[in-house]
Chain A
Amino acid sequence: QKEVEQDPGPLSVPEGAIVSLNCTYSNSAFQYFMWYRQYSRKGPELLMYTYSSGNKEDGRFTAQVDKSSKYISLFIRDSQPSDSATYLCAMKDKSGGSNYKLTFGKGTLLTVNP
């Protein structure tokens, strides 16, 4: 079983739809959870960063963490064509000393159609 599982999609939705992206994980040591957005031929950029279980909202984006179920989600409200990208979940644990290791999911390719 991989440490982080993410449905690769692709996911295609109409403009204005609510999008739900999900990841599950098996490593209980993961403490911090992130969502990165990666446009084609670009590097990933940090979208959301959460620590505790619960919801964190930033504009049209909501990150949800359920540590008991080892499940995280990213919701996008009122999706726009500019949201078309690959969304990567990422998690970190303490790999040793004060060093944190980041583990990524495979990414979900999202297309928002105008």
Chain B
Amino acid sequence: DGGITQSPKYLFRKEGQNVTLSCEQNLNHDAMYWYRQDPGQGLRLIYYSQIVNDFQKGDIAEGYSVSREKKESFPLTVTSAQKNPTAFYLCASSTPSGRPLNNEQFFGPGTRLTVL
């Protein structure tokens, strides 16, 4: 079964604690993305990675960190520096647009993080 998995589905943390969200894909995709979704705000890009060992900041990277040590994995750490971390976090992956013709992004089921 090919796809993207995110764990856990729900996560609760105390204010001031770092927390790491997992994202794994077995689609053999090169590119991976992290988005944050808040009501009425759409999907905002946090970080993205087009190849292993390389990643770039998105529009709202402050207070977050990522790593891309393996093609299949792209974990996101929400640090204590993130001022409003409670949100729905979505991971996605895609092949580069050179192959195939479009760059469809495939999304995981999301992790809802609540900071108490």
Partners in one complex: no
B→A interface (CB under 8 Å): none
